[in-house]
């Protein structure tokens, strides 16, 4: 007697849902029981992708290419035969796009600091699949534990400038699950704020006094020279 189909199973042929951009993947859709022939339809976010007909209960293979982030949405398949009403739907699958990280940017709200001051450093990779793990360095020495960020947000470290040795070169490192993908940031150095010399105000004051003396003499000389000239006549 004709038999209704069982709910199909949708599985990735490559065995993993982790993919990279421009990767070719295959999905297998298969009902274990029911009367053939069977029509399998693959959906992505409820939009029909492709339909395959099978004369028996062997799996149908749907071949895809991951061209963009939109291609990692939810996939389902539907199985139908001549007696099914509305068909039977499979489990859903979601690919995870693995993207290499971009070079992280190391920055601080201030580039100048004094001894005894608290400062902050932030490290962020704008691109790359999450999570991303960050580590901060001063020179070649790590100064933080690994910080795994599950969201697209910067890792922060708070430092205390205790001595002149704390004005060294800082960097950070970022890595994710993408194979052999570790990136180092730009270098960052704190600098001491420029201090004005104590003698500079004195020099300015002396310059102003000298200028006033010259102006005073220029104004006063005619009053002395002209009367002397008239007296000699």
Mean pLDDT by 10 residues, the chain (233 residues): 90 91 94 94 94 95 91 94 86 91 95 91 94 96 96 96 89 91 94 64 68 72 59 55
Going from N- to C-terminal start, the domains of the chain cover 9-97, 105-189
Mode of pairing for the β-strands spanning 18-19 and 96-97: parallel
- Cα angle for residues 129, 135, 141 (degrees, 5° grid): 150
For domain 105-189, give the CATH superfamily.
Immunoglobulins (2.60.40.10)
Contact 14, 26 (CB under 8 A): yes
Residue 166, classed as helix, strand or coil, is helix
Q: Which tokens go with 39?
A: 């029509």
> Fold for domain 9-97?
Immunoglobulin-like (2.60.40)
């Amino acid at each position: 007697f004709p038999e209704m189909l069982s709910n199909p199973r949708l599985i990735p042929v490559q065995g993993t849902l982790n993919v990279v951009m421009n990767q070719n993947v295959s999905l297998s859709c298969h009902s274990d029981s029911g009367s053939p022939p069977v029509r399998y339809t693959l959906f992505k976010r409820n939009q029909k992708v492709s339909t395959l007909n099978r004369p028996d209960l062997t799996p149908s293979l749907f071949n895809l290419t991951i061209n963009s982030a939109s291609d990692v949405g939810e996939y389902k398949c539907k199985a139908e035969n001549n007696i099914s009403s509305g068909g039977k739907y499979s489990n859903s699958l979601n690919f995870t796009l693995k993207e290499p990280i971009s070079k992280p940017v190391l920055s601080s709200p201030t580039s100048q600091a004094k001894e005894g001051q608290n400062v902050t450093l932030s490290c962020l990779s704008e691109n790359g699949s999450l999570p991303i793990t960050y580590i901060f360095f001063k020179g070649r020495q790590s100064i933080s534990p690994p910080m795994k960020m599950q969201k697209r947000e910067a890792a922060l470290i708070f430092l205390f400038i205790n001595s002149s040795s704390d004005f060294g070169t800082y960097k950070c490192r970022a890595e994710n699950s993408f194979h052999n993908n570790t990136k180092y940031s730009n270098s960052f150095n704190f600098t001491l704020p420029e201090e004005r010399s104590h003698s500079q105000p004195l020099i300015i004051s002396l310059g102003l006094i000298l200028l006033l003396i010259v102006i005073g003499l220029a104004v006063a000389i005619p009053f002395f020279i002209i009367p002397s000239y008239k007296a000699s006549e």
